[in-house]
C-alpha cells in the first residue's frame, strides 16, 4: 500500500488532479487536505526565502533561520500524513470487507480511529503553521505578503477539510464521543479562521497600497 501511495505523490500535478477526479476514493478529501497543508508551508517558505538575508530584515535573521527549518519540516510532515491518510482508508476498506465474526468489531474500531486521527494530526500541524506564519507576518518582505496571506488561507482551508473528515467519521462512534470530537474539531476550525484573519490584518497595509 505504501509503495502505491508514494507513486501517487510522484505523479505530475495534472495526473494527480486527474486521479482525484476519478471514481476512486483514493486520493480523496484527506489526501487533498494534506497536499493543501504542504502547499501552505511551501508558500510560507517561498515568502521566507525572499526575506532571509536581506539587509532590511537583518534584525530578524535568527528568527528567519529558525523558521526555515520549521517550515521545511512541516511541509514534509504534511506529505507523510497524505500517505497515512491513504493507508488509513486502506485499513478501513479492508476491514469493512471482512466477514462478520470474532474480532471484526475491534478491527473496525481501530480503522475508524485511524481515519479520525490523521485529520486531527493535520489540523494540529496546520495550526502550528498558522502560529508560525503569524509570528512571521510582521517580519516578512512586504512584496511577498500576498503569498504569505495565501499560505495562511491554505492552512485555514486545511483545517476546514480536516474538520469535515472528522465530522463524517465521528458518526461511527458512540454519540457522546462523537459530540466531543466534533466540538474539539470545530474549535480548531474557529482558531484557524482567527489566525488567518490576524495574519491578513497584519499585512493589510501593504495589500492596500
Range of the structural domain that residue 28 is part of: 2-207
| 112, containing H or E segment | helix 104-136
Whole-number pLDDT of residue 95:
79
Q: Which residues of 177-204 are buried (b: 16+ CB within 10 A; e: fewer)?
A: ebeebbeebeebbebbeebbeebbebbe
Whole-number pLDDT of residue 209:
54
pLDDT tens-digit series, residues 146-155: 999 999 999 9
Least confident of 101-115, 118-132, 155-169: 101-115
Spatial separation of the C-alpha atoms in residues 147 and 141, rounded to whole Å: 10
Q: Is residue 3's pLDDT more than 60?
A: no
Provide the pLDDT confidence category of residue 109 given band limits of 50, 70 and 90: confident
What CATH number is associated with residue 7? Answer: 1.20.120.680
The DSSP call for residue 180 is H
Cell representation of residue 58? 537583518
Structurally, the chain folds into a number of domains equal to 1
70: Cβ contacts below 8 Å, ≥ 6 apart: 132
Spatial separation of the C-alpha atoms in residues 33 and 170, rounded to whole Å: 18
Spatial separation of the C-alpha atoms in residues 168 and 45, rounded to whole Å: 32
3-state helix, strand, coil in the chain (%, to 5): 85, 0, 15
Whole-number pLDDT of residue 92:
76
Amino acid at each position: 500500500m505504501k509503495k502505491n501511495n508514494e507513486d501517487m505523490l510522484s505523479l505530475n500535478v495534472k495526473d494527480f488532479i486527474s486521479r482525484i477526479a476519478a471514481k476512486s476514493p483514493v486520493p480523496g478529501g484527506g489526501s487533498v487536505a494534506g497536499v493543501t497543508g504542504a502547499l501552505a508551508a511551501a508558500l510560507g517558505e517561498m515568502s521566507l526565502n525572499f526575506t532571509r538575508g536581506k539587509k532590511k530584515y537583518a534584525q530578524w535573521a535568527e528568527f528567519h533561520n529558525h523558521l526555515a527549518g520549521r517550515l521545511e519540516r512541516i511541509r514534509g510532515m504534511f506529505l507523510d500524513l497524505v500517505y497515512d491518510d491513504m493507508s488509513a482508508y486502506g485499513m478501513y476498506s479492508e476491514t469493512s470487507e471482512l466477514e462478520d465474526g470474532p474480532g471484526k468489531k475491534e478491527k473496525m474500531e481501530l480503522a475508524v480511529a485511524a481515519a479520525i486521527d490523521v485529520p486531527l494530526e493535520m489540523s494540529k500541524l496546520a495550526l502550528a503553521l498558522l502560529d508560525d506564519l503569524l509570528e512571521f507576518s510582521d517580519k516578512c518582505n512586504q512584496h511577498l505578503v500576498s503569498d504569505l496571506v495565501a499560505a495562511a488561507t491554505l492552512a485555514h482551508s486545511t483545517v476546514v477539510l480536516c474538520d469535515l473528515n472528522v465530522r463524517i467519521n465521528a458518526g461511527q462512534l458512540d454519540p457522546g464521543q462523537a459530540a466531543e470530537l466534533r466540538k474539539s474539531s470545530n474549535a480548531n476550525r474557529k482558531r484557524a479562521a482567527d489566525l488567518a484573519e490576524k495574519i491578513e490584518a497584519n499585512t493589510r497595509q501593504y495589500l492596500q497600497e
